[in-house]
Amino acid sequence: MFFESQSVEHLLQVAEEITAKVPSCWAVTADQHGSANARVVQPFFSQLDQDGWVVRFLTSAKSRKAAEIASSGRMTLGYQYEPEQAYVTLAGAARIIADRGFLHDNWRAEWNVFFPKGPSGDAVIVEVRVERIEMWNLARKIATPPDGLRAATLERAASGGWQSPSG
C-alpha cells in the first residue's frame, strides 16, 4: 500500500471528522518525574476549526490531572477510530478554567453523576489549545508517504495557521 501526500486542509478536515466520531479520548499529562499519566475523558464545548482547535472537558480541581496541568501547562489527547484503523493525536497548551458562571450557564444534568454539587462544586474546565496534530488512517491512506511508517503531522505556524513540519 502506498500513501500519498495530503493537503493541510484535507488533513484538518479528516482530523475534525475523526475526533467528532469518538465520544471519549485519552488525556495524557506528565507527572513531576516526566512519567506519563493517561485517563479517558469526554470532550465538550470544543471548537475544532482551522482557527480554533480548542478542546475542553471537565475534571475535578482536586485531581492529579489538574495538578499536572497546572505544573506543566501541556496535554496530549488521543482519539482512536477503529472502523478506519485510524488515530488522531492533539497536543498543546492546557489550562484550568474555574469560571463558575460559565459552568452554571452550560451545566448538563448528566454531569451530576461525577459532580453531585453541580457547577458550584469542585468541577473545573480543562482547555487544550491544539498546537500539533498527528494522524494515521489506513482507510484514507493518511500517513507519511511513501510507506506510511510515520504519522502525518501538522503544526501551528507563527501566523496561527497550520503547516506540515517539512514546509
pLDDT band per the 50, 70, 90 thresholds, residue 91:
very high
Q: Is 53 left (phi over 0), alpha (psi -120 to 50) or beta?
A: left
Q: Is 105 left (phi over 0), alpha (psi -120 to 50) or beta?
A: alpha
Among 124, 50, 42, 55, CA closest to 90: 55
User: Please, is 147 exposed, middle or buried when counting C-beta atoms within 10 Å of its C-beta (0-12, 13-18, 19+)?
Assistant: exposed
Structural domain boundaries in the chain = 8-156
State residue 96's pLDDT score: 96
Among 42, 94, 38, CA closest to 64: 38
CATH fourth-level superfamily of 8-156: Electron Transport, Fmn-binding Protein; Chain A (2.30.110.10)
In the predicted structure, residue 50 carries a pLDDT above the cut 60? no
Measure the CA–CA gap between 23 and 55, rounded to whole angstroms. 12
State residue 167's pLDDT score: 47
CA atoms within 13 A on the CB side of 18: 30
Query: Residue 66 phi/psi, 5° resolution?
Result: -60, -40
Question: Residues 142-148: what's their mean pLDDT?
Answer: 79
Q: What is the pLDDT of residues 5-30, one digit of tens each?
A: 788 999 999 999 999 999 999 999 99
- For the ranges 83-87, 102-106, 155-159, the one whose mean pLDDT is highest: 83-87
Question: Residues 61-79: what's their mean pLDDT?
Answer: 96
Question: Residues 89-111: what's their mean pLDDT?
Answer: 92
